[in-house]
Structures are given as C-alpha cells and as structure tokens.
Amino acid sequence: MPDHHKIRNHKHLKILGPLLHQQNLWHFNRRSASGAFAVGLFMAWMPVPFQMLLGAAGAILFQVNLPLSVALVWFSNPLTMPPLFYFAYLVGATILGIPESEFNFELSTEWLMQSMGVIWQPLLLGCLIMGVISAVVGYTAVRLLWRLHIVQHLKERRLRKKKAKKL
C-alpha cells in the first residue's frame, strides 16, 4: 500500500483537497474492501481509457479502499481486454437480439472508429451488464469470505479458551 500521507501531499493530487483524507480510502476493513471490489471490477468492464482514474473517482465517491479499487481495474488489461470485451459484445448482442457480426479485432484507432458504429450498442450494454454482475459477485464474495474468516477465528479462539481452562 502506498503511504497515504505522501499521496495526500502530492503536488498534483492536492487539488482533491480533503477528499483524500477520508479514512475508508486508506483502511482495509470489510466494508472498504468489499466496496473496493465492487468499484474496481465494475470499472474494469468499462470500455473507456483511463479506467484507473474512474476507479479512483468511484472509490472516493463511495468511500471505499482507494488502492484496492485502482488495482482491481487491472482485471482488464491489454491482454484480457479483447476476450472480455468480445464476451461483453456477445452478451449485449444476445440481449438486444442482434445477430452477431463477424469482425477481426485490431488494436488501432482506425479499426475502433470503423467498428464502433456497428458494435457500440451491444458492446456498451454487455459491458454494463458484466460490470454490474462482476461488482455484485465481487462485493458478495468478499463479504462472505470475510464473514467466514471471522467465524473461523472465533471458533478457534473459543477452542483455545476451553483448552486453557482445562489446563
């Protein structure tokens, strides 16, 4: 984790002022971690540049762990983007009832501008749906795993106390 004092006092980040002083942005607890998973995984599905900035803005808006939100945005990275966004396109096309159009993905502005006219509606709908699903699954999984960890810890503590009383 980066030192939050350095980030708060960074010359380019000072414009955010007191927004970066919220405690949940830097603490790691059940609420901030599960919320960070929701924000980060949702933003990972958004087909826009600067997803990390959106993840940071979402973390500040919802007061969840900032470094974790930004890190989880990297779920979609240059290697995983083509299959993720193609899958999102298929989901959107299926829901809209649009027949799947064949296209060869190229990582270029020219290809993007030519193809976006045809694929933008199913792609954006699919990304939104997959973002919501990922956010809900990530949030719920962290909450459940955290809860299971606490229950297990309490059971172990009770057993230790029982053994200590027997001695």
Contacts of 38 (CB under 8 A, 6+ apart): 62, 64, 135, 136, 138, 139
The string of pLDDT tens digits covering residues 63-85 is 999 999 999 999 998 899 889 99
| pLDDT for position 129 | 97
How far apart are alpha carbons 100 and 118 in whole angstroms?
10
| pLDDT for position 4 | 61
| pLDDT for position 74 | 94
| pLDDT for position 165 | 84
Q: Which residues of the chain register pLDDT less than 70?
A: 1-21, 103-108, 112
Residue 122 structure tokens: 């199913």
How far apart are alpha carbons 1 and 69 in whole angstroms?
12
How far apart are alpha carbons 124 and 91 in whole angstroms?
10
End-to-end CA distance of the chain: 42
Contacts of 4 (CB under 8 A, 6+ apart): 20, 25, 26
| pLDDT for position 68 | 94
Q: Where are the beta strands (DSSP E) in 12-164?
A: none
| pLDDT for position 64 | 95
